[in-house]
Amino acid sequence: MEDYNKRKQIYVITQFNHPREVTDEAVEAIRILQKIGIVIKNQTVLLKGINSDPAVLGSLLKRLTACGVVPYYIFQCRPVRGVLNHFQVPLKEGSRIVEEAKTMQNGQGKCIHYAMSHPTGKIEILGQLNGEEMLFRYHQAKNSEEIGRIFTVAVGEDQCWLDMDLN
């Protein structure tokens, strides 16, 4: 892997969801990969009762950046069987949690994107626009003309997902 990484940059995407997962063993594994030039980024799923406290999420981001891992995405929990109405955080609350966690960061810790992997594409959750509407942007889209499009959706207080076709 070290030889290949000299020809082409290798990235490893980890998934740490709670600061307690950033163990000594995990940090040692990260250091081994970094020594051979591999860039480590992390994606996290926002999970109610696990990392849905800004202090917990902020601590996770700090622990990651302290060992050289760049926070990449915080994903909205998908509405799939087994987690629906159990681990999902409402969109408005999630946006607040992510923004509060970002205020606790320096530099790379602020580089995260709060997003959802929606059937229409990867949608960044930009935040609350006013009392009812939230602002979103397509990072990726099935319809290439949608990439980068910024749009608003009226979001209910308990709404955890965008259920409609957004194209």
Predicted local confidence at residue 7, as pLDDT: 86
> For 114-122, what is the mean pLDDT?
96
- The pLDDT > 70 percentage for the chain reads 96
Q: Which residue has the higher pLDDT, 21 or 86?
A: 21
Q: With contact defined as beta carbons under 8 Å apart, do 125 and 162 qualify?
A: no
Structure confidence at residue 160 as a pLDDT band (50, 70, 90) = very high
Read off the tokens for 124.
């960044």
Predicted local confidence at residue 163, as pLDDT: 86
Predicted local confidence at residue 1, as pLDDT: 66
Q: What are the backbone dihedrals phi and psi of residue 100, each rounded to the nearest 5 degrees, phi first?
A: -65, -40
pTM for the complete prediction?
A: 0.93
pLDDT higher than threshold 80 for residue 57:
yes
Compute the half-sphere exposure of residue 118: CA atoms within 13 Å on the CB side of its CA: 25
Q: pLDDT of 77-112, one tens digit each? A: 999 887 767 899 999 999 999 999 999 999 888 999
> For 48-76, what is the mean pLDDT?
97
Predicted local confidence at residue 83, as pLDDT: 73
Structure confidence at residue 6 as a pLDDT band (50, 70, 90) = confident
> For 41-46, what is the mean pLDDT?
98
* Domain extents in the chain: 2-115
pLDDT higher than threshold 70 for residue 155:
yes
Q: CATH number for the 2-115 domain, one of 3.50.50.60, 3.30.565.10, 3.40.50.2000, 3.20.20.70? A: 3.20.20.70
CA pair distance 26, 36, nearest whole angstrom: 16
CA pair distance 60, 117, nearest whole angstrom: 22
